[in-house]
Amino acid sequence: QFPLGRRLPCDIYWHGVSFHDNNIFSGQVNKFPGMTETVRKITLSRAMKTMQDLFPGEFNFYPQSWILPEELSVFVEEVRTRKDSDPSWKPTFIVKPDGGCQGDGIYLIKDPGDIRLTGSIPSRPAVVQEYLRQPLLVDELKFDIRLYVLLKSLEPLEIYIAKEGLCRFCTEPYQEPTVKNLHQVFMHLTNYSLNIHSGNFIHSDSVNTGSKRTFSSILCRLSSKGADVKRLWSDIISLVIKTVIALTPELKVYYQSDIPAGKPGPTCFQILGFDILLMQDLTPMLLEVNANPSMRIEHEKELSPGVFQTVPSPVDEEVKVAVIRDTLRLVDPQKKKRKDSHLSFHTYLLIFPAQLQSLHAGIAGMKDKQHKHHSLKLSLKLCQSLEQAREASEEPPATPRSPEAALPSPCLKQVFPKYATQFSHLLLVDRVASLFIRFLGVRGTTKLGPTGFRTFIRNCRLSNSNFSMAAADILYIDITRRWNSMAIEKESGSPGMCLQAFMEAFFCLAEKKYKSPKLHEKVSLLTQLCESRLAALHRKRLVWGCG
Ligand code: ADP
């Protein structure tokens, strides 16, 4: 700890709340820039909506949501239409203020007309969500699962999930929502911070009783009743990977603005808290993602009325200590150094063939003889180094005894890139975000200016007789104005087109250009087209540069 300020560079920086230090030029930081903003209720809902539009059916683990106030009329209309077509439909909705936590300001409603518009909504935007009425109950109580997920790296994407998690229980027996019980928070909300104040909260030293238990103890119980626990885990892994993929485009925009590529800066990792609700049929549903999950391993105990003492919480300790220990293990700079000394030649082997290929293609197209000769010599040198690296890598390095041998077996399990192939089609949004980032121009921004958007249209050759540059300008102005009027924070109301607005414009262009019935096919075709035109332009510029 550096209470008086930090003087020396560190290997690992462990920040309490968020990435906030612009004076870090090396090492690893435990927070990503922009993570807090990215997982806020509204931003998460928007990211999920984009994915639900692109990949219908693949993101139904997130409850149907509307953003208030901007989608209030859509919400009212959709509910009315559905009620008209199905009079037996008696839904309940949960209203959650944006940026809130620990159940703060949350309430349940039966009818859109019950949204508390006075005062709070205009100043405090919120998400209204379909209330999941049939959660799995244990001992008649509703509970949710807090799972810890380590985002070890954004580029390349590396995700780990903790095998153990926490189950947080309500303290009143659950009943499906009725007008009479809507206000009973101890029955409907699983937040520890709320239920701790109920007289029924049970602190237990055992992991399988009380108001906070380990996830494995619940799994054990389910498995003894014949539930397919393996399937449940695979559904949870899929939920986590898909959610992180939905969040990465926004994160990459923040990342490049705070840590520009090619300049000295730290790398980032972050422990996230995923809140998941299990349905009666064991389908996991995502409630929210926490950028700053509590890592406390003690709780307050009331010894006598009004007298509190902080005491260790064995359940928290069992789960959280392992998560932090494994995170440090994975980002251990010493481990990286040891690994690098073994792997450097493998790195050569992977990189050189790719470089040679493009180099050879470039040389073949060269007109200037002297240049061609020089480039061929360089290519030969690369081949020689490749050969030497190959020989050297065949000699196995001496393996020093790993200091990890003494540690308990890891609780963090890698799920990405391990299962990457099943999810690679979802990275389409990432590719659209890469196009956006490419045209941001001046580093340090997160919004695209009108010139950047025009350059994007021009360089990708998207304007034609049906879509003039003037039409592109109008598209930019229309979409940007609308998104900026919906901005949540003051600073995000700064001029320019944010990523979500760019996505909307991109989808709009894809709809105009292609006739295919599926949105993701159109977006995929347009992405390919833009990528290939930009690559051609890049090659052309290289040749001009060489000439
Ligand atoms: P907060 O950040 O304030 O904790 P959450 O989104 O986690 O907000 O919601 C608080 C609690 O409300 C959750 O722990 C869960 O018990 C309950 N909850 C939230 N969303 C839903 C939903 N869609 N259906 C049923 N219960 C929900």
* Atom of ligand 1 minimally distant from the CA of 41: 6
Between CA 329 and CA 339 the distance in angstroms is 13
Beta strand residue intervals within 380-516, DSSP E: 412-416
Q: Give, for ligand 1, the residue of 61, 106, 193 to mutate: max count of ligand atoms closer than 8 Å to Cβ.
A: 106
Kindly report the protein residue whose alpha carbon is nearest to atom 14 of ligand 1: 190
Residues 164, 318 contacting (CB under 8 angstroms)? yes
Q: Give, for ligand 1, the residue of 94, 212, 283 to mutate: max count of ligand atoms closer than 8 Å to Cβ.
A: 94
* Atom of ligand 1 minimally distant from the CA of 104: 3
Q: Give, for ligand 1, the residue of 41, 272, 287 to mutate: max count of ligand atoms closer than 8 Å to Cβ.
A: 287
Calculate how far, in angstroms, residue 81's C-alpha sits from the geometric centre of ligand 1.
Answer: 26
Calculate how far, in angstroms, residue 120's C-alpha sits from the geometric centre of ligand 1.
Answer: 19
Q: Indicate where the chain has its CATH 1.10.238.10 domain(s).
A: 424-544
What DSSP state is assigned to residue 493? Answer: G
Cβ count within 10 A of residue 71: 18
Calculate how far, in angstroms, residue 231's C-alpha sits from the geometric centre of ligand 1.
Answer: 24
Asked if CATH classification 3.90.1150.10 holds for the domain at 424-544, the reply, yes or no, is no
Strands 298-304, 307-312: pairing kind: antiparallel
Question: What is the pLDDT at residue 222?
Answer: 95
* Atom of ligand 1 minimally distant from the CA of 168: 14
Give me the average pLDDT of each 10-residue run along the chain (547 residues).
Answer: 73 80 80 94 95 95 94 94 93 92 90 75 80 96 98 96 96 95 95 88 83 95 95 98 98 89 84 98 97 91 82 92 95 71 39 41 49 49 45 47 71 96 96 94 83 95 90 95 76 78 96 91 96 91 71
The tokens 């405090």 sit on which residue?
A: 124
Calculate how far, in angstroms, residue 129's C-alpha sits from the geometric centre of ligand 1.
Answer: 10
Q: State the pTM of this model.
A: 0.85
What is the CATH architecture assignment of 35-63+132-334?
Answer: 2-Layer Sandwich (3.30)
What DSSP state is assigned to residue 273? Answer: E
Question: What is the pLDDT at residue 333?
Answer: 79
Output the six-digit token pair for 100. 């809130």
Kindly report the protein residue whose alpha carbon is nearest to atom 22 of ligand 1: 131
Taking CB atoms and a 6 Å cutoff, what residues make up the pocket around ligand 1? Answer: 63, 94, 96, 100-104, 106, 129, 131-132, 144, 189-191, 275, 277, 287-288
Question: What is the pLDDT at residue 52?
Answer: 96
* Atom of ligand 1 minimally distant from the CA of 131: 24
Output the six-digit token pair for 448. 């695209």
Calculate how far, in angstroms, residue 381's C-alpha sits from the geometric centre of ligand 1.
Answer: 61
* Atom of ligand 1 minimally distant from the CA of 63: 23
Calculate how far, in angstroms, residue 93's C-alpha sits from the geometric centre of ligand 1.
Answer: 11
Report helix, strand or coil for 112: helix
Between CA 464 and CA 294 the distance in angstroms is 54
Q: Indicate where the chain has its CATH 3.30.470.20 domain(s).
A: 35-63+132-334
Q: Give, for ligand 1, the residue of 93, 96, 104, 147 to mutate: max count of ligand atoms closer than 8 Å to Cβ.
A: 96
467-475: long-range contacts, CB 8 A cutoff, minimum separation 24: 467/509, 467/512, 475/505, 475/508, 475/509
Report helix, strand or coil for 13: strand
Beta bridge partners of 480: none
Question: What is the pLDDT at residue 432?
Answer: 97
Calculate how far, in angstroms, residue 31's C-alpha sits from the geometric centre of ligand 1.
Answer: 24
Kindly report the protein residue whose alpha carbon is nearest to atom 20 of ligand 1: 287
Beta strand residue intervals within 105-201, DSSP E: 107-109, 126-130, 137-138, 141-153, 158-162, 166-169
Calculate how far, in angstroms, residue 430's C-alpha sits from the geometric centre of ligand 1.
Answer: 28
Calculate how far, in angstroms, residue 323's C-alpha sits from the geometric centre of ligand 1.
Answer: 23
Residues 107, 188 contacting (CB under 8 angstroms)? no
What DSSP state is assigned to residue 400? Answer: P
Kindly report the protein residue whose alpha carbon is nearest to atom 12 of ligand 1: 189
Calculate how far, in angstroms, residue 467's C-alpha sits from the geometric centre of ligand 1.
Answer: 45
Q: Quote the longest CA-to-CA distance of the chain.
A: 91
Residues 201, 211 contacting (CB under 8 angstroms)? yes
Calculate how far, in angstroms, residue 60's C-alpha sits from the geometric centre of ligand 1.
Answer: 17
What DSSP state is assigned to residue 247? Answer: H
